[in-house]
Amino acid sequence: MGNIIPIEVAKTLDGLFSERVRLSAKTRAYRSYNKTTQKWHNYTWEQIEKEVARWQIALAKEGLVAGDRVAIMLKNCPEWVIFDQAALGLGLVVVPLYTEDRAENTAYILIDSGAKLLLLEDQEQWQPLKNLGNHKLNLYKVITISKPENYTNNNIIDDNVNALSDWLPKKNGEMKHMNHKPNDLATIMYTSGTSGRPKGVMLSHHNLLTNANNCLQVVPVWQDDVFLSFLPLSHAFERTVGYYLPLMAGATVAYARSIPHLHEDLINIGPSILISVPRIYDRIYSVTHAKLKKKSIISRLIFKCTVEIGYSRFKLQQKRGPKKVSHLLWPILNTLIAKKVINKLGGRIRLAMAGGAPLSTEVSRMFIGLGLPVLQGYGMTECSPVASVNSIKNNIPSSVGHVIPGTKVKIGEKGTLLIHGPNVMLGYWNNPEATKAILTSDGWLDSGDVAHINNGTITITGRLKEIIVMSTGEKIPPADMESAILRDPLFDQVILIGEGRTFLSALVVINQDYQEKFTPQNKNTEKILLRRIAQQITEFPGYAKIKRVALCKEPWTIKNGMLTPTLKLKRTKLLTHYKSTINKLYMGR
């Protein structure tokens, strides 16, 4: 922790980078997989700085001035960091884009932000945007990392599109730092937009610096730590906690090749810290239990016993449980069961963080019981994004922990969590009405999430706009029940229905391995699905029983508009799309 760069020294995000280079020039900063050599390549801080300076020369030649917006649509890689730091050092405002987003959404963000330059992977990424009408995007320059086929040096690909190798100068100079202030705008990060158009969250250098610094006061990170980055850097959680935070601490970041390669990359990299959204933890949980079902009853009992004893030891360590004789079995169970599961995550993970959506208590219980501390936190893009997090010494899995230092929280009149601190955004870009609706005159941010605070511990109970109010008056937070249902490996996706209805129902997408067995035409399908669902929601109140279920053939994806780029359900879109199916579920009831 002694290697952390103070905010007062860094002042800005590019200042943070320069100070890290000064302190750790020759040490390893990043790791990335080279497809040509099929090997992992290491980059020192000094090497990255030289590239940053080279990119700044190219950006400066475009006539860009401080305050201009530049956009980036790349998968996580060292070039993402290089572009970000080069732009920030020149006083430019970075607009990150999701590589998997729909072209219409991407175009909207480019137009709304007024971006003048776009960096993307290749011609294939550019083509859908070009088809929408390039003149509408108002881009001065588009740069692609990869050269397209039939491309010759110094040849323009298409209109104002160039290959990176020709755009960059052959030599580099010294990294530049414009005379900008900590409270100057650093980035515009567009929210996913579960309903309506995405909004551009304006975050300053100070917003992001203080958030990374205050997170480090709760979650210790060391210079020899290694992060494996696989959440998109266009996601606020990954950008702050998986990029600026390790930069502040001097830790190494390795960029995973892809989600399908994640298991292999975990083994090869052996990260010590894992940052993820619940979806990844849910998937590992489902796969683990699916494999257990194929094993003997004795094997399943031993696994269950391991988790229970491990979790009991965790409660003892947290001073919330007694010492038990069964704890004496842990060394054996740890060797035979727990370590074998944890080793599949690389074998070196000392802590894991979860954010972006609620993490099921049952899922976190399994990981913690197997000896992997999972720290759930809470935040939103509008607060840079972390507001609270559990700590190693005070970890309550059913909560999102205590508010981070420097930030304040309270419960508002509507029962929603209000947030105040240096991490709260400057406002929404070009949207004063939306800014006024979420920010009070004295700077309190209304999260829209219903919560309660007990002895400083924050628990999120639902999203105000998403809480289902049944005709009986009962209120149901759908995300918790949906998360519980997804513990069953049979289900890939689920959305709860019941607003203004007398009972709950659900739409589900099942795992492709089961699709031949369960079809809408099979009369027993609904009965079996309901039974499987009931087994997962036993901890919920009796009025929260699901009485009808409909099977959806097609998965919900970003491309078909049913998911946001952060893989959250677009509830309004789903309810509209399946309106006739939903009506049939309640017909005659």
8 A C-beta contact, residue 354 and residue 277: yes
pLDDT at 104: 86
* Structure-model confidence comparison of residues 146 and 428, the more confident one: 428
The answer to whether the Cα torsion of 212, 216, 218, 221 is positive or negative is positive
Confidence at 431, pLDDT banded by 50, 70, 90:
very high
Query: What whole-number distance in Å separates Cα of residue 423 and Cα of residue 588?
Result: 51
Tell which phi-psi region holds residue 230, choosing left (phi > 0), alpha (psi between -120 and 50) or beta. alpha
Q: What angle do CA 463, 557, 377 make, to 5 degrees?
A: 40
Average pLDDT, the chain: 91
Distance CA(280)–CA(238), nearest Å, equals 14
pLDDT, average across residues 11-26 = 97
What pLDDT was estimated at residue 467?
78
| pLDDT tens string 130-188 | 888 655 788 889 999 987 665 555 544 566 788 999 999 998 888 999 878 999 999 99
* Burial zone of 102 (CB within 10 Å; 0-12 exposed, 13-18 middle, 19+ buried): middle
Angle between helices 13-24 and 45-61 (to 10 degrees): 140
C-beta atoms surrounding 236 within 10 Å: 28
For a pLDDT cut of 70, what percent of the chain falls above it? 96
pLDDT of residue 193: 58
What φ, ψ does residue 473 adopt, rounded to 5°?
A: 95, -10
Q: How far is CA 82 from the centre of its chain?
A: 21
DSSP 8-state symbol, 329 = G
What's residue 150's pLDDT? 56
Helices 205-216 and 13-24, packing angle to 10 deg: 50
| Mean pLDDT within 303-330 | 97
Percent of the chain at pLDDT exceeding 90:
68
Cis previous bond, 385, omega within 30:
yes
Question: Residue 514 to residues 186, 486, 511: CA-CA distances in angstroms?
Answer: 47, 15, 6
List domains and CATH numbers for the chain. Answer: 7-205 (3.40.50.12780), 275-347+349-463 (3.40.50.12780), 468-586 (3.30.300.30)
Q: What angle do CA 50, 51, 52 make, to 5 degrees?
A: 90
Task: Note the pLDDT tens digit of each residue in 225-252.
Answer: 999 999 999 999 999 999 999 999 999 9
| Helix, strand, coil content of the chain in percent (nearest 5) | 40, 20, 40
Residue 564, classed as helix, strand or coil, is coil
Please provide the DSSP assignment of 242-302 as one string.
IIIHHHHHT-EEEE-S-STTHHHHHHHH--SEEEE-HHHHHHHHHHHHHHHHTS-HHHHHH
What pLDDT is recorded for position 149?
61
Confidence of residue 483 (pLDDT cuts 50, 70, 90): confident
User: 79-122: per-residue pLDDT in tens?
Assistant: 999 999 999 999 999 999 999 888 888 999 999 999 999 999 99
pTM value?
Answer: 0.85
The answer on pLDDT for 280 being more than 90 is no
- 125-129, 409-413, 505-509, range with the lowest pLDDT: 125-129
Sorting pLDDT into bands at 50, 70 and 90, what band is 466? confident
Backbone angles phi, psi at 382, to 5 degrees: -65, -10
**What is the residue type of 52?**
V
- Is the confidence at residue 290, as pLDDT, over 80? yes
Q: Which amino acid is at 46?
A: E
Confidence label for 564 from pLDDT (cuts 50, 70 and 90):
confident
Q: Check residues 132 and 505 and name the one with the higher pLDDT.
A: 505
Q: What average pLDDT does this structure show over 455-484?
A: 82
- Among 569, 583, 557, 588, smallest CA distance to 505 is for 583
Region of residue 430 (left: phi > 0; alpha: psi -120 to 50; beta: else): left
Q: What is the dihedral of CA 157, 163, 165, 170, to 10 degrees?
A: 80
